[in-house]
Amino acid sequence: MSAANASIPVAILGVTGYAGEIALRILLSHPRFTVVHAGSDRLGGQKVADAAPSFAGETDLVMSPDTPEAIRASGAKAVILAKKSPEVTKVVPELLKAGLKLVDIGAEFRLHDHAAYKKWYGDDHACPELLPTAVYGLSEVHTDAIRSASVVGNPGCFATTVILPLVPLLKAGLIDLAAPLVSVSYSGLSGAGKRHIESNNNLFYAVNENLHSYKAVGHQHTGEIDQELSLAAGIPVHCSFVPHLAPITRGIHSTITVTVKPGVTQEQVVGAWNAAYGKRPFVRIRKTPKDVEVANTTGTNFIDIAAALDGRTLIIASVEDNLVKGASGQAIQNLNLMFGLDESMGLLRRGM
C-alpha cells in the first residue's frame, strides 16, 4: 500500500456506548481508517464482541483502558472521544502533545467560551485553554476550519438539525431577527444514552405509547445553537428550543419556525440552501415538509430538510439519525476532512 493510501490508525474512547458502537461499525468497513484501540475503563481485557454480541464474527478487538499510555501504545493517529464524562477530557492535552487529532462526540469542545461552558454544563472545563481554538464540527458549515483542526467538537444531535438549515438563511439576511426563533424537536430513545436519566424519564415504560418534553427551557444544546446562529447572523441570536422524547429508537425530527423579512419567497429560501449545500453529499433538500421523515434517514449520514411559507412564517422540517449524522457518522465525516480524505468516504451506505 502506498503512503498516500496507507491505513490511518484510530482509537475509540468509550467503545461500548451507543456512539462508540456506531463509530466502530462504520470504521470496521472504512477504506482508510483502522481501529487500533477499543477503549473501555470498565471492560478492559474483554473482547468487544463479548460485550456487544452484534460484533461477533466482525472483529477480534480486545478492549483496553482509556489511558494516554494505552492510546499511545496502540499507535493511533486519531481519537474519537465517544464518552460524555468530562473526566475523560483530562487525557486530551497529553494526546494532542503526542500529535494525535481528536473528534469529541461529547459536549466538551462545542462551546468556545469557558463561561458559556460553565453556564450550560454547570462545571469547570478540564482544559479550558483548548476551547477557543477547538472547531465546532458541523461539517457543512465549518469545512475549511475542520480540515486544519487538531480538536473538533462534534455538534449535538438536536443542534445539527436546527443549526444546519438556519445558517444559510441567516447569512443571506432572510430572517427577521426581531421575531422569535423556535425549534420543537423530537428524539428517539437512544438519544438519551444507555443509562436511565431520571430528569429525562427515559425508561421504556415512560416512552412507549407516550410523548413528552423535557428541559423545555435551558437544555444544554441551546448554548451551541445560539453560539452558531449568532456567528452566522453577526449579532446575538437566541432560539427557543424544546426537546421531546418520542417512542422510537433512533432519529430526530425538528420543526423550526422563524419569521422571514417582508418580500422573502420560498424560492429564496431554497436558493440559499442550494448555494450552501447543493454540492454536499449528505444534505438532501426535499420539496415539502411532508417529504421529511425520520425513517428516510435511519442508519444513514443524511440530513433531510424542507420548508413551507405561511405568510411570513417559515416552517422548516429537519430530520436525521441521531446516532449517525447526529453523532458518530458526522464524527467520521469530520475525521475524513481532517485527514484530507473525501468527506463521504465510508459513509455512503445504509444500515450504520
Indicate if 157 belongs to the active site: yes
Contact between residue 33 and residue 346 where contact means Cβ atoms under 8 Å apart: yes
Q: Three-state DSSP class for 97?
A: helix
Chain centroid to Cα 120, Å, comes to 17
Integer angstrom CA distances of residue 214 from 192, 204, 244, 257, 260:
11, 16, 6, 19, 28
Contact between residue 301 and residue 330 where contact means Cβ atoms under 8 Å apart: yes
Q: How far apart are CA 232 and CA 271, in angstroms?
A: 17
Helix (DSSP H) and strand (DSSP E) numbers for the chain = 11, 14
Look up residue 201 and give its DSSP letter: T
Among residues 31, 185, 22, which one has the least CA distance to residue 105? Answer: 22
- In the set 15, 82, 146, 157, the catalytic residue is 157
Residues whose CB is less than 8 angstroms from the CB of residue 308 and which lie 6 or more positions away in sequence, other chains included: 266, 288, 289, 314, 315
Contact between residue 55 and residue 12 where contact means Cβ atoms under 8 Å apart: no
Q: Take residue 184 and report the three cell numbers written for it.
A: 420543537
The catalytic residue positions are 157
